[in-house]
Amino acid sequence: MTPLQQELLIALVKVVVIFGALLTLFSLMTYLERRLLAFMQFRLGPNRTGPLGLLQPLADGVKLFFKEELVPEGANKWLFIAAPAVAVVTAFLSMAVVPWGGPVTIGGRDILLQIADLDVGILYIFAISSLGVYGIVLAGWSSNNKYTLMGGLRSAAQMFSYELALGLSWVGVIMIASSFRVADIVESQRGDWGLLHWNFLRQFVGFVVYVIAATAEVNRTPFDLAEAETELVAGFHTEYSSMRFALLQMAEYVNMITVCAIGASVFFGGWLAPLPALQVVFGVDIGLLWFLLKLAAGLFFFVWLRGTLPRVRYDQLMHFGWKVLVPVGMLNIVGTAAWYAFFA
């Protein structure tokens, strides 16, 4: 094989593996979310299909496959079909630059545990997440239904507003690493004191802004106004059924996984161990395991939030985004810059 063919083959294998991992994580998440939420509310949740109810996602999938695909009268048919695809594609795309672990050597080749190691990795994530809004907007608009339209518009305004705060929250971290590459940002958190070097301590303000903005960005409670069921039936996906509905759900969960993966990489040291001594166990670098643990903790946090907080009002959301989160993000940048200019 020529080197180009080898590169292509490796890339293809990575894409397939990460795609499969994401799909598995997505179906596991639909189950875990319902189960954990149930425990938080003193219920049992789905526990009948298979051991502990673990086969529930499979049963849901089969059910959704056999449901009728409805296209509402007066809907814009092509855009209505395209919307879930746009949502899912943009959701999966941003996972391409997230590193799942440090570089590993297989057969004399250094292989990165990420699909693309871009120079502008973190900006790429930002760009793709800014495109994610179109899936929701298209779904809301093309359904020709006032509730979906309201849901789509709300979510467009919300994602647009909080995207800014999301971007601002990364700037301090980028300053510390002086690189846009995600792997460089992870490596900049390596140190003798383990987790004391992680960015959630060094960039605490940025971290708080990120958590809030990310929650809004993926439309999760307490910012799930795009699908506020008390006002909007089910928001932008009211008219969707069968697999198209499943695709929209998938996009939402994959976005959540992405946001947690990025949070783990940018603020919690990615594949680094909390104590340097725990990085290599029995001669094996267990970076992937640490990354997955951090990812799981992030996902649990989102479920926990949903079980705890009520939904905010729409005007509260907008005021908070523009008048609190964005200024705080800006101040954080000025503060970090001042630190580098005068003390470091």
Partner 1 sequence: MSALDIVLFYFFATIALGAALVVVGQRNPTYSAFALIVSIASLSAIFGLLGSPFIAVLQVVVYAGAIMVLFVFVLMLLNVREEQKSEGRGTSPAFKAAALGLGGLLAVQILVVLLRATREGPAWAAHFDASARQVARRLFSAEYVYVFEATSILIVAALVGSLALARGGTSTRDKAAPPAGKSE
Residue 315 C-beta: closest distance to partner 1, Å: 6
Q: Per-residue b/e over 35-46, b at no fewer than 16 CB within 10 Å? A: bbebeeeeeebb
Residue 105 C-beta: closest distance to partner 1, Å: 26
Residue 91 C-beta: closest distance to partner 1, Å: 15
Cβ–Cβ under 8 Å, residues 162 and 217: yes
Nearer to partner 1, 246 or 333 (CB): 333
Nearer to partner 1, 205 or 318 (CB): 318
Nearer to partner 1, 128 or 211 (CB): 128
Residue 164 C-beta: closest distance to partner 1, Å: 5
Nearer to partner 1, 134 or 300 (CB): 134
The residues of the shown chain that bind partner 1, judged by CB under 8 A, are: 4, 76, 79, 118-120, 123-124, 126-128, 130-131, 133-134, 137-138, 140-141, 149, 152-153, 156-157, 160-161, 163-164, 180, 314-315, 318-319, 322, 326
Instruction: Count how many residues are written for the chain.
Output: 344
Residue 170 C-beta: closest distance to partner 1, Å: 12
Nearer to partner 1, 28 or 123 (CB): 123
Nearer to partner 1, 1 or 4 (CB): 4
End-to-end CA distance of the chain: 50
Residue 152 C-beta: closest distance to partner 1, Å: 7
Residue 317 C-beta: closest distance to partner 1, Å: 9
Residues with Cβ within 8 Å of 338's Cβ and at least 6 positions away in sequence, in order, are: none
Nearer to partner 1, 290 or 320 (CB): 320
Residue 284 C-beta: closest distance to partner 1, Å: 34
Nearer to partner 1, 59 or 112 (CB): 112
